[in-house]
């Protein structure tokens, strides 16, 4: 019950701040432009609409997650609320999870909005004789993969906000982590013989979304995202207790 109250409070504050609606609309504009560009590039090919949609949406998701999570504990430190949070009997992991879930719900709104935009595009803005190879189950799997990625990125930004004293630096570190950590980890696995290099060497998580949209569900990748989220939340709780 306390967790849901925290999530509701954080989400409402997020939507009323500069970290909410503005970045949300900007991320949707980036994804929308990317989808139109990909559709033009894919004309005459066998690419499916769910795959192109998933890749386009994944382009704006790290930016939105980094912005949403950058508010995290940084703003609480700036306005003095962090000291009051330390004095409450609420468990550390509850505070951390509340911040993560609030940022994650903003990402859910983003993905749902892009799905609605894609539906409008298919039904109202294209010629009647246009053909899009697609399957609605592909959208479901791609959306699920995007939500798992959003969990990881929001958790990473929230943990970083415990260290930073400004939202700008938290955003920058979160965005850099979202963009560079996954390819570095994958390249490390390849270098040490623990994995195979995929088609998109520097965009492994986007490749995960692309594969899921095509029906090739990488359970290991999705489980890895879930485990990474749990680990980050646990680490965030330990750091919160240490600061307390």
Top pLDDT among 146 and 169 is at: 146
Mean predicted confidence (pLDDT) in 135-140: 80
pLDDT at residue 181 in the model = 79
What does the pLDDT look like over 181-221, one tens digit per residue? 777 777 666 666 555 445 556 667 778 888 888 777 778 88
Question: What value does the mean pLDDT of the chain take?
Answer: 81
pLDDT at residue 230 in the model = 92
Closest CA to 52 of 82, 78, 31: 31
What does the pLDDT look like over 96-122, one tens digit per residue? 898 899 889 989 999 998 888 877 777
pLDDT at residue 203 in the model = 67
pLDDT at residue 201 in the model = 60
How big is the CA angle at 87 (ends 86 and 92), to the nearest 5 degrees? Answer: 40
pLDDT at 129 over 70: no
Question: Rounded CA gap, 108 and 153, in Å?
Answer: 13
pLDDT at residue 194 in the model = 54
pLDDT at residue 83 in the model = 81
pLDDT at residue 231 in the model = 92
What does the pLDDT look like over 150-177, one tens digit per residue? 999 999 989 988 887 777 788 888 888 8
pLDDT at residue 221 in the model = 80
Listed range (11-15, 28-32, 55-59, 107-111) with the worst mean pLDDT: 11-15
The confidence band for 234, taking pLDDT boundaries of 50, 70 and 90, is very high
pLDDT at residue 198 in the model = 52
CB-based contact 131:208 (threshold 8 Å): no
What does the pLDDT look like over 71-97, one tens digit per residue? 788 888 877 787 888 888 888 888 889
Residues belonging to the chain: 244
Closest CA to 19 of 77, 63, 70: 70
CB-based contact 156:177 (threshold 8 Å): yes
pLDDT at 35 over 70: yes
**DSSP SS3 for 205:** helix
């Amino acid at each position: 019950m306390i967790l849901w109250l925290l999530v509701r409070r954080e989400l409402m504050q997020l939507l009323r701040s500069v970290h909410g609606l503005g970045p949300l609309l900007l991320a949707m504009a980036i994804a929308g432009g990317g989808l139109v560009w990909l559709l033009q590039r894919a004309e005459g090919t066998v690419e499916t609409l769910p795959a192109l949609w998933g890749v386009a949406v994944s382009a704006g998701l790290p930016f939105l997650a980094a912005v949403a999570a950058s508010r995290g504990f940084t703003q609480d430190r700036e306005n003095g609320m962090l000291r009051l949070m330390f004095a409450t009997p609420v468990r550390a992991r509850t505070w951390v999870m509340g911040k993560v879930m609030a940022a994650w719900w903003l990402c859910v709104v983003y993905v749902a909005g892009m799905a609605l935009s894609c539906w409008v595009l298919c039904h109202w803005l294209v010629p009647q004789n246009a053909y899009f190879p697609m399957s609605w189950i592909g959208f479901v799997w791609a959306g699920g993969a995007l939500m798992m990625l959003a969990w990881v990125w929001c958790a990473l930004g929230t943990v970083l906000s415990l260290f930073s004293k400004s939202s700008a630096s938290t955003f920058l570190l979160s965005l850099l982590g979202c963009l560079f950590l996954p390819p570095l980890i994958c390249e490390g696995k390849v270098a040490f013989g623990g994995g195979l290099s995929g088609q998109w060497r520097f965009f492994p998580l986007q490749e995960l979304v692309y594969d899921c949209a095509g029906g090739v569900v990488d359970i290991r990748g999705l489980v890895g995202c879930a485990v990474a989220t749990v680990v980050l939340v646990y680490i965030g709780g330990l750091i919160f207790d240490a600061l307390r």
